[in-house]
Structure 1
Amino acid sequence: MQFDILTLFPAMFAGPLTESILKRAVQAGTIAIRIHDIRAYATDRHHTADDAPYGGGAGMVMKAEPLAAAIRAVLNEVGAEGQPAPGSSQVVLMTPAGERFTQRMAHELAGYKRLVLVCGHYEGVDERVREALVDRELSIGDYVLTGGELAAMVVADAVARLVPGVIDAESTAEESHGGGLLEYPHYTRPAVWEGREVPAVLRAGHHAQVAQWRRHERLRRTLARRPDLLASAELSPADQAFLRSLGWQPGSTHELA
């Protein structure tokens, strides 16, 4: 899978997307990450990429011409796997006005061959670029950042780890937000630390009991911390019975004390 990130500040990406798991995935050829400077597509001598808003007001707006030229150039480039087939690329604008990014969206985006992440900045981008070239608008939360760069890093990281071959598929099977639930607690050696013991069920070696404990802990933690997730979580009759034993009522936002 190929990630193309369009930004006014390319230097911000030197580090976050070139370390750890993503670094190994790039070296292995499982994913490709390319950073594109939007200013390089401006045609004036000063490489101007922003201008004052029509109608007045504070701040600046990213100009349509250089941003559109950057998006089109990237979409027309032949990547490591050749020219992607129509519909296999997705142009995503990072903006506080977008849909809230979720794990389900990460799984969906991981199915594309090429993901073009456009980093908004200043007061935003010229609306005509949104209308003409953007497939989707995403936000990583209900707050405003100085620009879309940090948000693009989050999306790229969340999506890249779901690309087959980047990490062991078993590692993502029961993690937080998988199936709509939070992840269960984890423990490692030593068995006792500062008087706190690892739960006995995890040391007994009974796989079925461990699986049930982990499922119950996922349910318990989700109810305690994010009860809103239960409305759309994948719950079996046994799950619902366990939650009811904890005081959960379907359709409520009950939290544990």
Structure 2
Amino acid sequence: MMKIDVLTLFPEMFTGVFGSSILGKAAAKGIVELNAVNFRNYSTSKHGTVDDTPYGGGGGMVLKPDPIFAAVEDLVPDQAAKPRIILMCPQGETFTQKKAEELSQEQHLIFICGHYEGYDERIREHLVTDELSIGDYVLTGGELPAMTIVDSVVRLLPGVLGNEMSAVTDSFSTGLLEYPHYTRPAEFRGLKVPDVLLSGHHGNVEKWRREQSLLRTLQRRPDLLEHADLSEAERRWLVLQDKRSEASE
């Protein structure tokens, strides 16, 4: 079973997220243990202070190292254990599906969610193993990014999704965007499902899906194609599609 602890000043934010949908079901199945831990409880101040003004002056408040270190040490009493300790930080590595797959192989993840101006640098240098960001924009704190990453990681664990192929074919899992989906009715307001999906020919369906995935990636995220695992035939096909698109403009 994977264990995930989130250090936060607002554990109540995680109640609905951890207890609902895929995350709630995974926890109920015993696949993952999810905990939101208020690191204010580890403050040595009688007022529960976890932040202070920065040395050298400047605006904002900085999270103190002692409550964070104490919380992690309490969660990992065995010094031999090596959890991944993840700092939610706008300066961190941009989170990707590849990173989600990497983290899904771990037994214990600890997320640190900050508020205020930032973290004491000693947390960054001597405690965490990873620094992650979900994009180039500013949020109030690390809670929403942590929820995003936890959801992305947990759905990859064996037994979490009803259909194990769902995670395999999701957008970005193959390095490409996912192909279009259709369901009943076969015709809706004059709009028809592509004939190939109704043909029952699995080989043709798979070929169509692959081509649609390639085409959608070309149109919406061509940057992904640079590192995608493509055959020479697929690369030639993409060049042809790109030329056709330019000619039609």
TM-score by length of 1: 0.91
Question: Which residue, out of 119, 126, 134, partners 2:113?
Answer: 119
Gap regions ≥5 residues in structure 1: 77-82, 249-253
Aligned partner of 1:14: which letter? T
Aligned to 2:143: 149
Cα shift at 1:247: 2.0
Q: CA separation of 1:129/1:221 partners in 2, compared to 1, >3 Å: closer, same or farther?
A: same
Structure 1 CA distance, aligned partners of 2:173 and 2:126? 34
Runs of 4+ aligned structure 1 residues displaced above 3 Å come to: 83-87
The answer to whether residue 165 in structure 2 is matched with residue 170 in structure 1 is yes
Q: Distance in 1 between matches of 2:16 and 2:232?
A: 46
Identify the residue that residue 16 of structure 1 maps to in structure 2. 17
Which stretch of the first structure deviates more once superposed, 96-105 or 55-64?
Answer: 55-64
CA contact (8 A) 1:84 1:113 kept: no
- One-letter identity of the residue aligned with 2:69: A
Task: State the match for 1:186 in structure 2.
Answer: 181
Q: Give structure 2 stretches of 5+ with no counterpart.
A: none
| Residue-pair matches, total | 244
The equivalent of 1:95 in structure 2 is 89
Q: Tell me the amino acid that sits aligned with residue 232 of structure 1.
A: H
Q: How does 1:68-107 map to 2 (within 5 A)?
A: 68-76=69-77, 86-87=81-82, 89-107=83-101
- Output the CA distance in 1 between the equivalents of 2:46 and 2:190: 67
Q: Which amino acid aligns with 2:108?
A: R
Show the counterpart of 2:48: 47
For 1:235, the equivalent position in structure 2 comes to 230
1:159 maps to a residue whose letter is V
SS at match of 1:120: coil
Distance in 2 between residues matched to 1:106 and 1:4, nearest whole Å: 16
Q: Does the aligned pair in 2 maintain the 1:201–1:210 contact within 8 Å?
A: yes
Counting aligned pairs with the same residue, the percent is 51
Partner of 1:17: helix, strand, or coil?
helix
Q: How far apart are residue 85 of structure 1 and its match?
A: 6.1
Take 1:242 and 1:85, find their aligned partners in 2: how far apart are those partners? Answer: 52
Distance 1:246 1:56 in 2: 57
SS at match of 1:68: helix
Shift in Å at residue 10 of structure 1? Answer: 0.7
More helix by share: 2
Aligned partner of 2:188: which letter? W
Q: Is the 8 A contact 1:39 1:47 kept in 2?
A: yes
Distance 1:45 1:173, change over 3 A: same
State the distance in 2 between where 1:164 and 1:219 align. 27
Question: Bigger CA drift: 169-178 or 135-144?
Answer: 169-178
Rounded Cα–Cα distance in structure 1 between residues aligned with 2:147 and 2:73: 21
3-state SS of 1:247 partner = helix
Q: 1:112 to 1:84 in 2, by over 3 A?
A: farther
Please, what TM-score do these two structures have when normalized by structure 2?
0.94
Judge conservation of contact 1:51–1:62 (CA < 8 Å) in 2.
yes
Q: Deviations over 1:148-167 (max 9, x none)?
A: 00000001000001111111
CA drift at 1:194: 2.1
Change (3 A) 1:173 1:84: farther
Deviation at 1:117, TM superposition (A): 0.6
Say yes or no: does 1:130 pair with 2:124: yes
2:201 is the alignment partner of 1:209: no
